[in-house]
Chain A
Amino acid sequence: MSTLVFLEHHGNELQKGSLGVLAKAQALGGDIAAVVLGSGVEALAADAGRYGASTVYVADDQKLEAPLPQPRVDAIAQLVRDKGIETVLFAQSILSADIAAALAARLEAGLNWQLVDIAAKDGQVVGKQSALGDSVLVDVGWTSTPRLALFRAGVADPVETGGSASVEKIEVAFEEHSLAAEMLEQAHEESSGPSIEDAAVIVAGGRGLGAPEGFGMIEELAKALGGAVAATRAVVDAGWYPYAAQVGQTGKNVSPGLYVACGISGAIQHKVGMQNSKTIVAINKDPNAPIFEFADFGVVGDLHQIVPKLTELVRARRG
């Protein structure tokens, strides 16, 4: 069985998510290769060996400099053909989702997305996909090769294997239509703290804060913990906090190490966006709030007293 993992990079760093998928790929056994596509990316290729790739294909080409999908589809389609690759894995990102979808069309291949895991079973490749708002995991498969799979964000951490990869340079024959799009400008959103998808700690506020001003103390606590601020839909709807911070069914999906829910009742629409957090702490004055049913630690009380004290304590401990 031969598997290829697309490694996405930003600047001079391989994305954590795609290295995580490389770790997941080990479960399939056989040859696990990786591919790095860009301009001036040879040094990155060597890195991939440490995370479990036995071979790293590198296409170093000016035409691959901008993060556009179509030239990358050419490169991966060519690898699938030339190297007899049966499975191609991606980590969720806007670029990777574009490439995976276009590749599926190009190769007439099946694509399973939002996978949380993958395994080989009786010679078949079986993906795990969460469904119905994360309430069940279903097994998904492919009826033909190549098989394409897109993993959900944040489901796997990179694992250093200490190995080294053989780096193989490839030349890509680009299709004319693949070069028709051009990147004119790239702008980065300015943000002060870590983004909520990457944050290890999240402090979230809901209606229990009482007023938009309540977010002041949430921000203080987040700062003390080195984390990010999230919000429920109700408060975003009410205009208390920006939409970018919304966690839940129609907002972002997060899985930090620590999630501190302040004044959040825990409606299922919010729960599905944060239930994969490792440790959930809930502060709410209503002992019957549903959040206490799935929080690891619960504090029944007035958050206006608890949160500032907690912030003080965290600051004191951290010095």
Chain B
Amino acid sequence: MSVRPADFPAPFSPTEVIAAPTDPADERIEVGVLIVGAGPAGLACAIRLGQLLEGSPETAERLGDVPIAVVEKGKQPGSHLLSGAVVNPRALRRLFKDRPELGQVPSYGDVHGEAVYLLTKGMATRIPPPPTMRNHGNMLVSVAQLGRFLGEQAEAIGAAILPETDAQKLLVADGRVQGIRTGDKGRGREGQELGNFEPGSDIVAKVTVLAEGTQGHLTGAAVARFGLEGPDPQLWALGVKEVWKVERPLGHIVHTLGWPLRKRAKYGEFGGSFIYPMGDDMVSLGFVAGLEYRDVDFSVHDVLQEFKTHRLVRKILRGGERVGWGAKTITEGGFHSLPKRFHAPGLLLVGEGAGLVNVPTLKGIHYGIESGIMAAEAAFRSLQRGESPSRQGAFDAYEDELRASYVMQDLKSVRNMRQVFDKGFFMGGAFASAMTITKGKLPLKDYHSHPNADHSLLTSDRAKSYPAPDGKLTFDKLSSVFLSGNRTRDDQPNHIRIQRQVPLELARMWEHMCPAQVYEVGEAAGDGTVTVNIAPSNCVQCGAITAKGGRLTPPEGGSGPEYTLT
């Protein structure tokens, strides 16, 4: 009998996280514009708003003591950010137009050269970079460092940043979004109040901007609440990356396709690697694979370890030392999975959470920033005298502007590229070339996709090829979690919703899938099912579980990794 993760849905309903405000009116925290998530999109939105309010003190005054607030579940902006990353500087240039900040953006320089390889176990064949993967003139950054920088700029221009604050519920009343409720702090494992218990608060706002990034906890609920689902389900990939100190500078960026992924369509293994220089003495390398894979023993963390044993990679890392590790999902449904609308009364959706990621070009950060800027301008317009953010059509201009922008044109031209890789690596590759050459006009028909959790599981000898960790080149999951800086309090309530008694295949799939060793196959019940043991405090909040049958919710604010170089 074949098992599908979707047949064992998480004990979770989006309606659980939609509520009306409960704090008495005089105890609610009132802000002007509330932004959820201090990533590139949310912070760009805060910065642009700050710029607009600088030029319009009367609007700022109407917004009260805290005109702009940004809540962030990590210890600081950037703590939970992880990406390659090669950034198209276009949106940053618009954000900091004619301002000195543009010259201060933390960067490891521009991309000067690139190489794409098709790998087999023993060989690396250099192939011409597909047009979507040409990066000349783009910037190399650590998005964790970029997040910290943007956080400082947002604060400098008047935004209040509330770190270690998780947005647990979306406040909706009278048909419009009113703000969020933050999570409680100081609860014990069974939910009991500990000595340092602090209840969450209602933060109410005139406009709420969800900029939660991948697997947005409230974004998903808002899409369901306001019926914003797009034509196709959303899809995700999982990326695991490491940062290495190396002896020799790399000089150019590297992408690889092929090994250690298996080519046959039935395995559903789609993805590749990146290796980017970070100055002369560091490189960032990672492996990304679509979560539609089917093998119960598939593990992106272990595939990355395997990948590092290839001659091509060994040569780059020789004599080096691993100094960073992290994991995160990437939204990759693309154009067909975008929400129907990017707004609802009182609410704006921006960035990766809204699906604005271009998988074939491996870009999304500039779309995040661009949509953040547009959302700021829309929020600002709606707050002018005689306007109202809850008026029907108040945010229509945001929708129009976003849809008319290069962001949407880019996404549309690559709309079928990801989907056709369901046909396997070579057929997919052929289709992808046709799409690129015709700028998306071919194929004439659109390809659609199935949710990641709908693919039935299969078992092979996948795990055999994973190398045993040697602590020098290859590493186990626990020491990697340690390197992520994660020191989540153990005795807090479990934030991961899964069914705890499931078929062995499913439990084994979760165990291998999770890069942070959260799940473990437990005792067998004798009927083919097993108990799933979980260690929630290992969690680095990558979000893979949500794509594969479970549901990640935010743990107590301040939990999770402390990324600094990713």
Contact = CB atoms under 8 A, between A and B. Distances in A.
B and A form one assembly: yes
Interface of A: 133, 233-234, 236-238, 243, 246, 249-251, 267-269
B482 A250 contact: no
A249 B487 contact: yes
Q: Determine which residue in B189, B479, B482, B537 has the highest number of CB atoms from chain A within 10 A of its CB, and name it.
A: B482
Interface string B491-518: 1000000000000000000000000000
A243 B537 CA distance: 14
B488 interface: yes
B478 interface: yes
Contacts of A249: 482, 487
Contact of B491 (A133, A234, A243): A243
Which of B478, B479, B490, B533 has the most CB atoms of chain A within a 10 A radius of its CB? B490
Contacts of A246: 490
A269 B482 contact: yes
Nearest to A243: B491
Minimum-distance CB pairs A-B, first 4: A267-B478, A268-B482, A250-B490, A268-B479
B478 A237 contact: no
A131 to B, nearest CB: 11
A52 to B, nearest CB: 36
Interface string B198-238: 00000000000000000000000000000000000000000
Contact of B478 (A243, A251, A268): A268
A243 B489 CA distance: 11
Contact of A237 (B481, B488, B535): B535
Given A268-B479, A269-B478, A250 B535 contact: no
Contacts of B487: 249-250
Contacts of A236: 490
B502 to A, nearest CB: 18
A29 to B, nearest CB: 37
A250 B533 contact: no
Nearest to B480: A268
Contacts of B489: 250
Given A233-B535, A234-B535, A237-B535, A250 B479 contact: no
B349 to A, nearest CB: 35
5 contacts: A233-B535, A237-B490, A250-B489, A267-B479, A268-B479
Contact of A251 (B189, B482, B488, B490): B490
A288 B100 CA distance: 55
A250 B478 contact: no
A250 B556 CA distance: 15
Given A234-B535, A269-B478, A269-B481, 6 more contacts: A133-B482, A243-B490, A246-B490, A250-B490, A267-B482, A268-B478
Nearest to B490: A250
A251 B489 CA distance: 9
Nearest to B535: A237
A236 B490 CA distance: 9
A243 B479 CA distance: 22
A249 B485 CA distance: 11
Interface in B465-482: 478-479, 481-482
